[in-house]
Amino acid sequence: MNNKTSIIIADAQHLARIGLSQLLSQDYKVYEATDGSQAIQLVRDLKPQLIILDYNLPGSFSEENIFLIKTLFQEVKILVISADENEKRILAVSELGIHGFLTKECDTEEIIEAVKAILKGGKIFCNKVLSIIINNINQKVIDPNCEPTSLTKREIEIVILITQGFTNKGIAENLRLSPHTIHAHRKNIMKKIAAKSTSDVVLYAINTGLIKTNL
């Protein structure tokens, strides 16, 4: 198969790296990185569509690596697969604009489906990570009793597309509106629901029943 999608697996743990490589190498062109500097160099040289990274490996990878990749290579999608149990770190990483977060407890089918979904433009957070985000709602300035009817029909459409991982450009294409119009709508939505980030918008959509989870 020619022109396979390129994926970098960035994990200092040999077994985790080899396991992911074997799982994905049949359908994708897989490269491996054992530390942060190597991962960034491979992203720079290969321009992959996706990097799978465990940031919670002191001395090899860190949250800073994710920040640098997002800043320097905005077109590269990032899937985190980590055994991190620190809720504050998990929340902080989720706010960096990553496209997915799975734990190392997730099975092979979940990983494969997450990779497919992210490459198609979606965002995937496993139930455990999503639970952590939801359990921290009380620390966010969002009214859990707000009703979806506080938004217009168009704004609700935009919220749903945001939860599916679409950018302003993608939303504009879906709704046949200009990116400028979507930007204005999005700004108004954020103000209405007191949201400070995309994660807050997702939480609002969950709380008000606009989207369903398997939690």
pLDDT number for residue 141: 45
3-state secondary structure of 176: coil
For residue 213, name the pLDDT band (cuts at 50, 70, 90). Answer: low
Its CATH architecture, for the domain 6-135, is 3-Layer(aba) Sandwich (3.40)
pLDDT at residue 208 greater than cutoff 60:
yes
Task: Kindly state the tokens that stand for 50.
Answer: 């996706």
pTM of the model: 0.65
For residue 139, name the pLDDT band (cuts at 50, 70, 90). Answer: low
For 136-163, give the DSSP string: TGGGSS--TT--GGGS-HHHHHHHHHHH
pLDDT at residue 71 greater than cutoff 90:
no
For residue 144, name the pLDDT band (cuts at 50, 70, 90). Answer: very low
Question: How big, in percent rounded to 5, are the helix, strand and coil portions of the chain?
Answer: 50, 15, 35
Its CATH architecture, for the domain 137-207, is Orthogonal Bundle (1.10)
Task: Find the angle CA(205)-CA(193)-CA(179) to the nearest 5 degrees.
Answer: 80
For residue 207, name the pLDDT band (cuts at 50, 70, 90). Answer: confident
What mean pLDDT is predicted for residues 195-204? 82
Q: CB within 8 A of 80, min separation 6: which ones?
A: 52, 53, 54, 55, 66, 93, 98, 100, 101, 102
pLDDT number for residue 215: 43
pLDDT in tens, 17-27: 999 999 999 99
Which part of the chain has CATH 3.40.50.2300? 6-135
Dihedral angle sign, alpha carbons of residues 159, 160, 166, 168: negative
Nearest residue to 176 (alpha-carbon basis) of 160, 151, 156, 157 = 157
Which part of the chain has CATH 1.10.10.10? 137-207
3-state secondary structure of 29: strand
pLDDT number for residue 148: 45
pLDDT in tens, 46-69: 999 999 999 998 889 988 899 889
pLDDT in tens, 169-195: 889 999 999 989 999 999 999 988 888
